Amino acid sequence: MVLTRLVNPGSKLKTIDYLVRYQGIKIGKDAIYRFLDKLHRKYKEEVERLAFAHTLKVQGGHIGIVFYDMTTLHFEAADGEDLRETGFSKVGRHQGPQIYLGLLISATGFPIGYDIYEGGIYEGHTLIPFIKKFEKKFSLSKPVVVADSGLLNLENIDFLESEGYTYILGARIKNEKRSIKQQILSLDLKDGQNSVIDQRQTRKLIVSCSAKRAKKDEYNRKRGLKRLEKNIKSGKLTKENINKRGYNKYLRIEGDARIEIDYEKFNLDAQWDGLKGYLTNTTLQPQKVIENYSCLWQIERAFRISKSDLLIRPIFHRLRHRIEAHICISFVAYTIYKELERILKMGNCKFSARRAIELTKNI
């Protein structure tokens, strides 16, 4: 099932059809579901142990930095129950049932462990139990924890500090108190420059400036503004749309309940273009903190591979233990995908893991 997930991903029924048609292997639907039940009961812990042992080996026997993030996985079903709940979807499917997948990886993108959560949970509440679980399971020796701003709340920061962890977290600089925001804007940073603002004790805020990021920020703001202008002309916006979500923050009610755009607020936001904040309690130099945080692309890529190459979603199962078994199979498939990438790189092969998998179909 793992190899089929790599070569010809799809539903379990498509797996059966593929194995018969192309591999001459006949496996019944009931046999697959019995295996999923056994996988959930007996093998999940073993799967994680083996994956961690391999990652540790690839990392040279030491894991000094870990990256944590979450994504949502949706279902081909209209209703939700138990694990499947409606919640904030990262792909805009807010009305359908979903689950959260939390993933912990090493600096090279190899997986350390994963967990799944109800679809309606706030992702900031997952970091503490996740770190505790895997520290205990694998005796991790206080690695540097790197996570994005979605997991930034005082509870998480206080926990990490009280437990002796060092961390690098994406900071929401626009949400800082007024005095800090004024200090940030007074820095007048140029492309490639950064500055450190000390907060309390060992905690510090690093602010960097990037011309490339500034262009992207400006482009996104203007694109969001055009969308708002178009919706106002079409009469699609109501007072329910006035909130702090995305570019709706530029809306206001004027006069007799008329919706309009606050262009002054839009123009003021330009002063934040290109600025990025990092909250840390490490003793690393600012540039090293920024470099480590930038490696979060590894976990974003892990989610992208899982969704596009391994088709981890949509999920067709309803029962919790079979959903967990499906995620487990996809986790193993991703681990093997990463190992295939590593071996191809060691062999100086010029093609990707995806291309290598495609080539096997012709053998």
188 assigned to some structural domain: no
pLDDT of 81 strictly over 60: no
pLDDT of 245 strictly over 80: no
At 160-194, the pLDDT tens digits run 888 888 999 999 999 899 999 999 999 989 999 99
DSSP class of 351: S
Residue 209 is predicted with a pLDDT of 96
10 assigned to some structural domain: no
Cβ–Cβ under 8 Å, residues 221 and 261: no
Max avg pLDDT among 37-41, 98-102, 152-156, 236-240:
98-102
Residue 255 is predicted with a pLDDT of 63
Cβ–Cβ under 8 Å, residues 320 and 328: no
Phi, psi values for residue 300, rounded to 5°: -65, -40
Give the CA distances from residue 226 to residues 41, 117, 221, 232, in Å, rounded to whole numbers and listed in that order.
Answer: 52, 36, 9, 10
265 assigned to some structural domain: yes
Cβ–Cβ under 8 Å, residues 157 and 200: no
How far apart (Å, rounded) are the C-alpha atoms in residues 80 and 318? 9
Sheet holding 98-105, edge to edge: 111-118, 98-105, 65-74, 144-147, 167-171, 275-280, 204-209, 194-198
Closest by CA to 266, choosing from 221, 230, 231, is 221
Helix (H) or strand (E) holding 76: none
Model confidence at 82, in pLDDT bands (50, 70, 90)? low
Residue 221 is predicted with a pLDDT of 92
Average predicted confidence (pLDDT) for the chain: 87
245 assigned to some structural domain: yes
Residue 90 is predicted with a pLDDT of 52
pLDDT of 121 strictly over 70: yes
Q: Please state which of the ranges 63-67, 231-235, 299-303, 330-334 shows the lowest mean pLDDT.
A: 231-235
**How many structural domains are present in the chain?**
1
Count CA atoms closer than 13 A to 338's CA, side-chain side: 24
Phi, psi values for residue 78, rounded to 5°: -90, -20
238 assigned to some structural domain: yes
How far apart (Å, rounded) are the C-alpha atoms in residues 317 and 40? 14
Model confidence at 96, in pLDDT bands (50, 70, 90)? low
> With 0-12 CB in 10 A as exposed, 13-18 as middle and 19+ as buried, what is 135?
middle
Phi, psi values for residue 203, rounded to 5°: -80, 135
pLDDT of 293 strictly over 90: yes
Q: The pTM is what?
A: 0.82
Tokens of 73: 């996985």
How far apart (Å, rounded) are the C-alpha atoms in residues 252 and 262? 6
Quick one: average pLDDT of 303-314?
90
243 assigned to some structural domain: yes
Quick one: average pLDDT of 327-341?
94
pLDDT of 206 strictly over 70: yes
Cβ–Cβ under 8 Å, residues 119 and 99: yes
Tokens of 285: 């130099």
At 122-175, the pLDDT tens digits run 888 888 888 888 888 888 778 899 998 877 778 888 888 888 889 999 999 998
Quick one: average pLDDT of 279-292?
94
DSSP class of 170: E
Closest by CA to 169, choosing from 85, 46, 74, 276, is 276
pLDDT of 267 strictly over 60: yes
Count CA atoms closer than 13 A to 116's CA, side-chain side: 22
pLDDT of 218 strictly over 70: yes
Model confidence at 315, in pLDDT bands (50, 70, 90)? confident
332 assigned to some structural domain: no
Q: Which domain holds residue 225?
A: 215-269
Quick one: average pLDDT of 80-98?
57
358 assigned to some structural domain: no
pLDDT of 265 strictly over 80: yes
Helix (H) or strand (E) holding 262: none
